Structure 1
Amino acid sequence: MTRPAVPALPSGFARNVQLRHLRCLVAVAQERNLARAAERLALSQPAVSKTLAELEALSGRRLVERGRKGARLTAAGEDLLAHALRVLDAVGEAAESMEGGTRAAGARLRLGALPSVAPAWLPRALAAFGQAQPQVTVTLTTAPNAPLLESLRSGQLDAVLGRIADPQHMAGLSFELLQAESLAVVTRPGHPLAGLPAASIHAVLEYPLVVYGEGTIPRHSTDSFLSSWGLKLPATRRLETLDVAVARLVVRDSDSVWFTPLGAAADDLAQGTLVRLALPTPGTEEPVGLLVRSDADLPVHAREFIAQLRTLAGRSR
């Protein structure tokens, strides 16, 4: 579903808009709260409201909706946000150029990744990137897909390693497929079900389970897989977590069974610290890929990291 086209801005907009207006819009988009945006900008909340009102008057449209859940951009606000981010990025690059490149050592790459995807993809890519770009500081945010995409759209992240979302959540974003991965059913070595030539789904459900939280793609895949057998998750004896490190340790130290995307357990499976049960999971494949803002002009170091991911994906395939 595509959004309706936003009318052109008034002719006086370009002559009168100022950087403070754009910085205010970006801060509100990223903080989603006027008070936090004001604190970030070192302004009073009334000053932020006044600046937003000026910007809305210049643009001739409503840009921000205020409610009990905070402040959110309208469709027009999101369209203007994309331009504001480009302008502020250009100003930052100009400042760096005027300073003779002295800020290069402080370059930063802001990544987001799904907890279930990060373990399989990021360690090797980050290690190679660190050798190639040692002057760049990398910050990594792990979270569910929806907040990652919102942070990407608002300019808080440069790129996200995640999954494609519904069309209404993909406005302004592009997705590059890296790989499709399936669900795996994993236990510790020596588990009563490990090593069997064929595991029974009914037998699996007799043991404590480790699953991802509601609303995540891995949880949806788990529920759908069980539903295909006419089953559902037991109401008791299950751990729901997005923390892959906790999940793998619980499974290694108990008789719990873990329903997880294959990549999240790949290293443990390769090292033999976890084993995959002989339980086919057809139809659970989900695409994993790279998401960036469609109009983003990524810096060289970000493009180099993306190249590392593509190389890793090619080897994996």
Structure 2
Amino acid sequence: MSIELRHLRCFLAIAEESNVTRAAARLGLTQPSVSRTLASLEKRMGVRLVDRSTHHLALTAEGRAFRDKAAAAVAAFDEALDTGRLRRRPLRLGHAWSALGPYTTPLLRRWQREHPDTPLELLRIDDRTAGLARGEVDAAVLRGPVDTPGLVTELLFTEPRVAAVPSDDPLAARASLTLADLGAGPVVLNTVSGLTTPDLWPEEIRPTATVTVANTDDWLTAIAAGRGAGASVASTAQMHAHRGVTYRPLSDAPSAPVFLAWRSASPHPAVRQLVALARAVAGSTGPAGPR
């Protein structure tokens, strides 16, 4: 038996729904049919992709690794059959939050002026690689270390870190803050697409209490509600103003690198032009290289 597109779509529906019944409804198939398709795929692959031993369906380690490859394959197939996109194939640029900060609008305006035949689509995707590893975008703005296999990165610039505290918190009255100031109370972490982890703090002042959220909007809401403080980068303060959140410089935290990343295999033809323009707009001369 060969693996067909229907096997990949079935697996991806199961992975996204975490439930065979919901995946079947989404695909317009019966539950037994979806189960048989998954079993056929696992037999052909020679590995178990989905763990069915618990009440809550979960992907195995092999399933998680295969998910990104399957998503990229399906996205490539769908795009190849989209005749409208073949005539004017857009360049999809992903970001998890803040894009290129103050350079975002200049980049979009110059691209439209200099490359009118290739639309540049800016997409916010709450994912550590902003959809790049899953094939949802052609390039992505990523902050912090990039260790996903198969990606090439270009360092564009670095930006300072900032603290984000509730506007009615006494810390908001200070001109600047330190990691120790934030670590004294709960810290709000975006564990899905955010840059900050407890490792930002030295071990002796590492926060003992954290609040986890899944995106920037929830991060801001949690801080404004007084559930804790947060740490981010200067672009967040510029792009995500919130009346309940006050940003202050974080004086003892290292600056964060900002990369433009793309897949090394079959990159979009206009990626190199995007890299050149992003470097020009940001005034960067960072080296490129695989990560």
Common fold by TM > 0.5 = yes
Write the mapping of 1:166-185 to structure 2, written as runs, cut at 5 A: 170-184=148-162
TM-score scaled by length of structure 1: 0.57
Write the mapping of 1:149-168 to structure 2, written as runs, cut at 5 A: 149=129, 151-164=131-144
Match of 2:236 in 1: 264
Q: How big is each residue's C-alpha offset from its partner over 1:19-53, in whole Å with a ceiling of 9 and x where there is no partner?
A: 32233334445555444543443323332222222
Structure 1 residues 298, 60: CA separation in 2 closer, same or farther (over 3 Å shift)?
A: same
Higher helix share: 1
**Secondary structure of residue in 2 paired with 1:217:** coil
Q: Quick check: 1:116–1:261 contact (8 Å CA) kept in 2?
A: no
Q: Which moved more, 1:286-295 or 1:302-311?
A: 302-311
What is the CA–CA distance in structure 2 between the aligned matches of 1:316 and 1:267, rounded to whole Å?
A: 24
Measure how far apart 1:89 and its partner are. 1.8
AA of the residue aligned to 1:182: P
Q: How big is each residue's C-alpha offset from its partner over 1:181-228, in whole Å with a ceiling of 9 and x where there is no partner?
A: 22146899xx9655xxxx6869x88xxx9975364434647x627x88
Q: Quick check: 1:212–1:218 contact (8 Å CA) kept in 2?
A: no
What are the ranges of 5 or more consecutive residues in structure 1 without an aligned counterpart? 1-12, 236-240, 251-256, 269-273
Q: Quick check: 2:20–2:31 contact (8 Å CA) kept in 1?
A: yes
**Secondary structure of residue in 2 paired with 1:152:** coil
- Give the greater-gyration-radius structure (CA): 1
**Is structure 2 residue 201 aligned with structure 1 residue 224?**
yes
What is the CA–CA distance in structure 2 between the aligned matches of 1:74 and 1:233, rounded to whole Å?
A: 29
AA of the residue aligned to 1:129: W
| Identity value in percent | 27
Match of 2:121 in 1: 138
**Is structure 2 residue 281 aligned with structure 1 residue 309?**
no
Q: How big is each residue's C-alpha offset from its partner over 1:57-108, in whole Å with a ceiling of 9 and x where there is no partner?
A: 2233323334545442542773586377347625742x35xxxx54446755
TM-score scaled by length of structure 2: 0.61
Match of 2:97 in 1: 115
AA of the residue aligned to 2:11: L
Structure 1 residues 46, 290: CA separation in 2 closer, same or farther (over 3 Å shift)?
A: farther
Measure how far apart 1:55 and its partner are. 2.0
Q: How big is each residue's C-alpha offset from its partner over 1:124-164, in whole Å with a ceiling of 9 and x where there is no partner?
A: 32333344347747352243xxx333843333344332235
Structure 1 residues 171, 40: CA separation in 2 closer, same or farther (over 3 Å shift)?
A: farther
What is the CA–CA distance in structure 1 between the aligned matches of 2:208 and 2:67, rounded to whole Å?
A: 44
Write the mapping of 1:1-317 to structure 2, written as runs, cut at 5 A: 16-29=2-15, 32-66=18-52, 67-72=54-59, 74-75=61-62, 78-79=65-66, 82=69, 85-86=72-73, 89=76, 92-93=79-80, 95-96=81-82, 101-104=83-86, 107=89, 109-116=91-98, 118-131=100-113, 132-133=115-116, 136=119, 138=121, 140-143=123-126, 147-149=127-129, 151-164=131-144, 170-184=148-162, 193=174, 213=189, 215=191, 216-218=194-196, 220=198, 224=201, 242-243=216-217, 260-265=232-237, 280-281=251-252, 284-295=254-265, 297-300=266-269, 304-315=273-284
Q: Quick check: 2:94–2:141 contact (8 Å CA) kept in 1?
A: yes
Q: Quick check: 2:151–2:261 contact (8 Å CA) kept in 1?
A: yes
What are the ranges of 5 or more consecutive residues in structure 2 without an aligned counterpart? 241-245, 287-291
